Amino acid sequence: MEAIEELAVQPCTSSLYLRPFRLSYRQNGTKKFWDFMRTHDSVSILIFNTSRQCFVVVKQFRPAVYMCEVERHHPQVFQNQDKESFPSLENPLPAEVGVTYELCAGIVDKPGLSLEEIACEEVLEECGYRVSIADLRRITSYRSGVGVTGSRQTLFYAEVNDQMRTSGGGGQPEEGEMIEVVEIPLGESMKFAYDETFPKTMGVIFSFMWFHSNIAPKLPKK
C-alpha cells in the first residue's frame, strides 16, 4: 500500500468527482463571492464485530492528506499553482504520512440504489462482511467540508460476526482501491480515537463516542 513512487503534481482541468465553481451573492447588502467544489454525497458505516468485540475500520493512502504534509514541509511545491508547471518532488516524504484510518465508506453515485443498499455494498467490498439492509441502523447524517464541498454523509451502524465474513475485503482493485482492514478492540477504542499518532477522520471519533454512549451500556457484562 505504501510503495508510492514517481510523484508529480499537475493542474487538474477536469475530474469525474470534483467540479469547481465560484458563487457570487449579496449578504446583508455586502457583495461577496465564494469558491466551492461540487462532489458526491456519501455513506459511512460503523462496523462492530460481536464475535471479537472490536470495531472494523479501514486504512488507506489518501493523496490529499499526503500533499498537505508535503506542503507543510515543502511550501514551495504549491507556490506556482497558477502556472502550467510545478516543481518535481525530488525528496518525497514517506508514504505513511498520507495513510489514514477511516470508517468503511463510499460515494453515492448509483442513482438506482438506496443509501442502505450502497452501504451494504461498501461493507462487502471494503471489509468482506455480507450484511443486509435489516442489519443497518441509521445513526444520523451531517455536512462535511462545509467550506469547500458542503456534501452530505449519512452514517450507519452495523453489527457483524465472524460467520458473516465472506472475503478479506480490500476494495475493488480494478478501481484502484488498496484498502487494509483493521480491527480496533472495544476496550482500546477511545484511547485510539484520541491518539493523534494514528491519523483518522472525524467520523471515526464521533462514531466511537456514539457507540460508547448508545450501545456499550447495553452490552452484556463480563
Angstrom distance (rounded) from CA 85 to CA 183 = 42
Q: Is the pTM of the predicted complex or chain greater than 0.95? A: no
Average pLDDT, stretch 46-56? 98
pLDDT score for 164: 97
Average pLDDT, stretch 44-73? 95
Angstrom distance (rounded) from CA 199 to CA 61 = 11
DSSP of 85-126? -----SSPPPGGGGEEEE-EEEE---TTS-HHHHHHHHIIII
Higher pLDDT, 155 or 80: 155
Q: What confidence tens digit (pLDDT) does each residue in 148-199 have?
A: 999 999 999 999 999 999 999 988 777 777 899 999 999 999 999 999 999 9
pLDDT band at 86 (very low <50, low <70, confident <90, very high): low
Which one-letter amino acid corresponds to residue 163?
Answer: Q
pLDDT score for 26: 95
Q: What confidence tens digit (pLDDT) does each residue in 90-146 have?
A: 677 889 999 999 999 999 999 999 999 999 999 999 999 999 999 999 999 999 999
Minimal CA–CA distance to 125: which of 100, 141, 105?
Answer: 105
Residue 21 makes CB contacts below 8 A (sequence gap 6+) with 35, 36, 37, 38
> Residue 12 in 3-state DSSP?
coil
- Which residue has 499526503 as its cell numbers? 66
Q: Given the DSSP bridges, would you call strands 180-185 and 54-61 parallel, antiparallel or unpaired?
A: antiparallel
Domains of the chain: 20-80+92-216 (3.90.79.10)
Other C-beta atoms closer than 10 Å to the C-beta of 112 total 5
